[in-house]
């Protein structure tokens, strides 16, 4: 995509996050219920996820895991934007709005340890749970994503533009995947040693060598970190397979083209898939076809001239 189109894609994320931060800062000043018809504003601290889920978990496990989960989703969002095979500004913008809302709530947890909810819709007898602007805009993002998938599903999964197998060159692709996973494991190992030792030393400085408190805080942290690390490595493996497919696929297709061209097949051609690397191979294949056609034509002329002279 062009730079202007990338700006259109990223801008909804920034706007969503900014609107959420501005409204939440305003909401922290609410001291009593404010009603405007069916819409009510009341300050509420949500210590869990959306609609208060997981609020009964220990604070360390809850805040750290939910905040890290948001960062994890942000990294996944960047990968999806890179790997999407079509431009589809509707789909990409929907993803940006959705992630912008999620990051808005993650920012609350990082800064305050809880999410600020302040909007309630309904009547005293029947009302919605408290939510915020980020929650509302996330549903806008979901709607845009569903609309784009329904409308542009054929472009996302075109039958005539999908390789039937993702393991084109399994030794190379597995090597590529394991290298990515190795880098990921190295990073998680460095982060785990730093964060674990930092947390352990900090707790010991505050409360002494209390085994009960150490286990209460460190065990949930280790479990959560291991779950996130496994998920991170699994995603790296999947991303490695996709990216290596975009590398191995064009080379495999070009190799097939060369075999067909050398065998003299007139229908030999090279057409790479959307998102493939080495797109210049298509131009090279066209040039090879032209040269082979010219050589064949020159040989035919030479044969005719030879027969006439004979």
What residues are labeled active site?
Answer: 117, 135
Beta strands in the chain (DSSP E): 34-36, 39-46, 115-121
Residue 117's φ and ψ, nearest 5 degrees, are: -110, 145
Determine the distance from the C-alpha atom of residue 273 to the mean position of all C-alpha atoms in its chain, rounded to a whole number.
21
CA–CA–CA angle 138, 184, 164 (5° rounding): 75
The DSSP symbol for 125 reads S
Instruction: Name 116's bridge partners.
Output: 45
Residue 246 has, within 13 A of its CA and on its CB side, a CA count of: 15
Q: What's the token pair of residue 183?
A: 């880098």
DSSP assignment of 262-285 equals HTT-TT----PPTT-S-THHHHHH
CA distance 17 to 137: 10
The DSSP symbol for 50 reads G
Q: In a 10 Å sphere around its CB, with 0-12 CB exposed, 13-18 middle and 19+ buried, how is residue 242 labelled?
A: middle
């Amino acid at each position: 995509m062009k730079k202007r189109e990338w700006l259109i894609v990223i801008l909804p994320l920034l706007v969503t996050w900014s609107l959420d931060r501005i409204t939440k800062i305003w909401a922290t000043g609410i001291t009593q219920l404010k009603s405007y018809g069916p819409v009510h504003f009341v300050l509420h601290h949500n210590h869990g996820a959306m609609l208060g889920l997981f609020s009964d978990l220990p604070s360390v496990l809850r805040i750290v895991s939910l905040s890290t989960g948001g960062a994890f989703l942000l990294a996944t969002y960047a990968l999806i934007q890179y790997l999407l095979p079509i431009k589809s500004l509707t789909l990409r913008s929907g993803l940006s709005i959705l992630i912008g809302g999620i990051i808005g709530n993650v920012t609350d947890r990082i800064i305050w340890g809880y999410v600020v909810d302040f909007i309630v819709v309904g009547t005293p007898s029947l009302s919605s749970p408290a939510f915020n602007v980020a929650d509302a805009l996330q549903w806008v993002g979901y709607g845009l994503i569903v609309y784009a998938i329904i409308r542009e599903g054929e472009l996302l999964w075109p039958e005539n533009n999908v390789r039937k197998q993702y393991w084109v060159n399994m030794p190379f692709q597995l090597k590529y995947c394991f290298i990515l996973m190795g880098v990921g494991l190295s990073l998680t190992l460095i982060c785990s040693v730093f964060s674990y030792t930092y947390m352990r030393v900090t707790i010991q400085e505050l409360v002494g060598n209390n085994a009960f408190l150490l286990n209460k805080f460190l065990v949930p942290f280790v479990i959560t970190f291991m779950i996130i690390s496994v998920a991170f490595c699994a995603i790296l493996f999947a991303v490695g397979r996709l990216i290596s497919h975009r590398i191995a696929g064009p080379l495999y297709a070009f190799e097939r083209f060369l075999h067909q061209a050398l065998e003299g097949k007139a229908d030999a051609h090279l057409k790479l898939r959307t998102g493939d690397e080495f797109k210049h191979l298509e131009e090279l294949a066209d040039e090879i076809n032209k040269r082979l056609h010219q050589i064949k034509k020159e040989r035919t002329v030479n044969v005719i001239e030879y027969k006439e002279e004979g």
